[in-house]
Amino acid sequence: MTSRVFSGIQPTGQITLGNYLGALKQFVALQDQADAFYCIVDMHAITMPQDPSQLKERIKDLASLYLAVGLDPQKSTLFVQSDVSAHSELGWILQCLVHMGELSRMTQFKEKGEGKEAVSAGLFTYPALMAADILLYQSHLVPVGEDQKQHLELTRDLAIRFNTRFGDTFTIPDIMMIKQGARIMSLDDPSKKMSKSNPNPGSRIEMLDPPDVIRKKISRAVTDSDRVVRFDPEEKPAVSNLLTIFSLVTDKSIEEVVAAYDGKGYGDFKKDLGEALVAHLSPIQNRYAEIRNSGEIERLLQLGAEKARATAATTMDIVRQHVGLGS
């Protein structure tokens, strides 16, 4: 049996190099080996306030980027979460299974809610909806960045709890994280992850940043005072982060990159990293521009939603029966 892969990205803000290296690049690699479902999780996006017309555009932006990085709708099912109502339905059932204490321990909720006067109940129950996304498709493998590990562990716990209480229903999913790159750090502060929502745009590379912006952001990225290009995440977190990025966009090992800069300073290293990023991202950006303007996106997402609905419906029939719901 081919394995089932599921993952999702929120259509909020500009997709960063962190999203790409930690998640999207893995999505592309997996589509040849597995039956993959990749979702645009708009219901998760509304756990924080969103402007409606902007949200609509960002859904199409993200779908275009999915295609531009190499996801192939013939191989993967690409769809929007709110097009498949089973996500909300199973999300509710799992909200009735998850404990308040478990949700309170989620670090993403604590971080996103911190210092805010009003936090939506949806932000709190977010992990139950995420578990529903994954479990609806009987997924075996979920490629994500390191920040989603806690949510994945909760998803597994909920699947096991459901199966124990109501009888065998869900496949227990495994998390898939790349060894280096599951947590790309900010360019201005290597103790923070690179994030869409950081107020400083210089902290991140965005997938659609023009070449000159990419070069400038890399040239301004913080390093350290030691001037040796060496991989040591403890002692040299900023340089190690840049090395990780270099290695992933050039498909060279970190050792190879380190060896190439033996005896050279940070200037050469950063200049080449800027060029390597431009070379890697430019073709993606060109494809993106073509796809975004093609008018094909809506049709593709409708086809994806139809496939997703059919798969989700099979799971929901069993869930309703096992829980004792319905007339």
Give the residues lining the site for ligand TRP (CB under 6 A): 6-8, 10, 41, 44, 130, 133-134, 142, 144, 148, 151
Closer residue to ligand TRP, CB minimum distance, 111 or 317: 111
Q: Which does 6 bind (CB under 5 to 8 A by kind): ligand AMP, ligand TRP, none?
A: ligand TRP
Choose the catalytic residue: 112, 149, 216, 307. 112
Contact with ligand AMP (CB under 6 A) among 182, 187, 214, 308? 182
Window 23 to 82, contacts with ligand AMP (CB under 6 A): 23
Query: In 3-state terms, what secondary structure has residue 191?
Result: coil
Task: Tokens for 209, please give them.
Answer: 């940043």
Alpha-carbon distances of 234 from 166, 241, 287, rounded to whole Å: 46, 11, 38
Longest dimension (CA), the chain: 74
- State the Rg of the chain over Cα: 21
Q: Which does 193 bind (CB under 5 to 8 A by kind): ligand TRP, ligand AMP, none?
A: ligand AMP
Establish whether 56 is a catalytic residue.
Answer: no
Regarding 157 and contact with ligand AMP (CB under 6 A), the answer is no
Q: Which amino acid is at 294?
A: S
Specify whether the CB–CB gap between 264 and 229 falls below 8 A. yes
Establish whether 264 is a catalytic residue.
Answer: no
Regarding 18 and contact with ligand AMP (CB under 6 A), the answer is yes
Closer residue to ligand AMP, CB minimum distance, 184 or 214: 184
Any residues with CB less than 8 A from the CB of 190 and at least 6 apart, and which? 222, 237, 238, 240, 241
Name the minimum Å distance from CB 31 to ligand AMP: 16
Contact with ligand AMP (CB under 6 A) among 147, 224, 272, 275? 147
Window 83 to 142, contacts with ligand AMP (CB under 6 A): none
Task: Tokens for 102, please give them.
Answer: 């478990």
Establish whether 193 is a catalytic residue.
Answer: yes
Name the minimum Å distance from CB 167 to ligand AMP: 31
Find how far residue 225's CA is from the centre of its chain.
Answer: 33
Name the minimum Å distance from CB 144 to ligand TRP: 5
Name the minimum Å distance from CB 325 to ligand TRP: 23
Q: Name the H helices within the chain.
A: 17-19, 25-30, 42-45, 52-68, 86-95, 100-104, 107-113, 121-136, 149-166, 211-220, 237-250, 254-260, 266-292, 297-323
Distance CA 270, CA 279 (A): 14
Give the residue nearest to ligand AMP (CB). Answer: 22
Which residues bind to ligand AMP, rule: CB under 6 A?
A: 9-10, 18-19, 22-23, 144-145, 147-148, 182-184, 193-194, 196
Catalytic residues: 112, 193, 196
